[in-house]
Amino acid sequence: MRMYEVILAFLVVTQSVSALAGSHDPKPVVLSRTGQINLGLAQSYLDANSLEAALDRAKRAVAADPNYGETHALLGMVYTRIGNQAGAAQEFETALKLSPNSGSILNAHAVWLCGQGQFDRADTEFRQALADPFYTNTLQANANAGKCAQQAGRLTVAEAYLRLALEKAPEDAQILLGLAQVKFAQGQWLEARAFAQRRLSIGATAEALDLAARIEDAAGDKSAAARYRQQRNDQFPEPAPTGEGVPRP
């Protein structure tokens, strides 16, 4: 599972004709077949980073079903990705007016809020999303909320969210890395080491090896830190400089 940068891939189109996470509303809005197809294609294109196609399909979904909150939320997610924050804000506002209790929309909007530095409001909406009994993707919401709290420097809150996410996905690489980062920032070297080792057991990355080396430095194990740095250099060598852009004498 990708976390946060992800995290725009929150809405899942199903075969249901009622609102994805808002079907508990008194009068659920019916999603047309055209809207369903375009919503699904827009999500797929967004996941593939085909942003022009995603934008086109999301706009078509909104045109087909303007009263369906998830179409506006997905268009807001596309606008976020292409850097149109004003457009994203407007679409999320419309989505929440249409489906104020939808966990999927609240989760997506909370991620957007976090990206705008609105950490308090983001946390409120993450909690609202998690309180929606019809919202099933609590793993993603907890992971997103944890990443957001980490970004805000609220380490205790971040750890709580990430541990809840880890209960559902104990071998998720990004959650384990996030917990290792949080424990490292808290100065809890042994716990940070344990999470880093669990993360590396899934597969090494440059980021995870760099973190593991810093943890071992802080814990006082210089030889372990050196081994991690050597592994990092062996597996992920820095690109050799090309000389481009270097001023000539």
Q: In the structure, what pLDDT confidence band is assigned to residue 245 with cuts at 50, 70 and 90?
A: very low
pTM of the model: 0.84
Q: Hey, how many other C-beta atoms are within 10 angstroms of the C-beta on 101?
A: 20
In a domain, 247, yes or no: no
Average pLDDT over residues 47-70: 97
Q: For helices 103-115 and 119-131, give the axis angle rounded to 10 degrees.
A: 160
Q: What is the mean pLDDT of the chain?
A: 88
Could you report the per-residue pLDDT of 5-50, keeping only the tens digit for each?
333 334 433 323 223 333 345 456 789 999 999 999 999 999 999 9
Per the structure, the complete domain to which residue 127 belongs is given by 1-169
Domain boundary among 120, 139, 169: 169
> What percent of the chain has a predicted confidence (pLDDT) above 70?
84
Report the number of distinct structural domains present in the chain.
2
Are both 160 and 226 inside the same structural domain? no
Residues 185 and 162 in one domain: no
Condensed to tens digits (0 to 9), the pLDDT of residues 125-158 reads 999 999 999 999 999 999 999 999 999 999 999 9
Residue that wins the pLDDT comparison between 20 and 173 = 173
Cα atoms found within 13 Å of the Cα of residue 114, Cβ hemisphere only: 28
Q: What is the pLDDT of residue 87?
A: 98
The structure tokens listed for 216 are 């071992």
- Do 142 and 175 share a structural domain? no
Where helices occur in 26-102 by DSSP H, the ranges are 33-47, 51-64, 69-82, 85-98
Whether 84 shows a pLDDT value over 80: the answer reads yes
Where b means 16+ CB within 10 Å and e means fewer, 123-142 reads bebbebbbebeebebbbbbb
For tokens 């268009």, what's the residue?
75
**Which helix H or strand E contains 22, and what residues bound it?**
none
Judged against a pLDDT cut of 80, whether residue 226 lies above it is answered with: yes
Q: Is 231 a member of any domain? A: yes
The radius of gyration computed from the CA coordinates of the chain, to the nearest angstrom, equals 21
Interval 182-219: pLDDT, tens: 999 999 999 999 999 999 999 999 999 999 999 999 99
| pLDDT, position 11 | 41
In this structure, are 131 and 36 located in the same domain?
Answer: yes
Task: Tell me the CATH number at 85.
Answer: 1.25.40.10
Q: Do 62 and 138 belong to one domain?
A: yes
Q: Are residues 227 and 144 in the same domain?
A: no
Q: What is the mean pLDDT of residues 112-116?
A: 97
127 & 15 share domain: yes
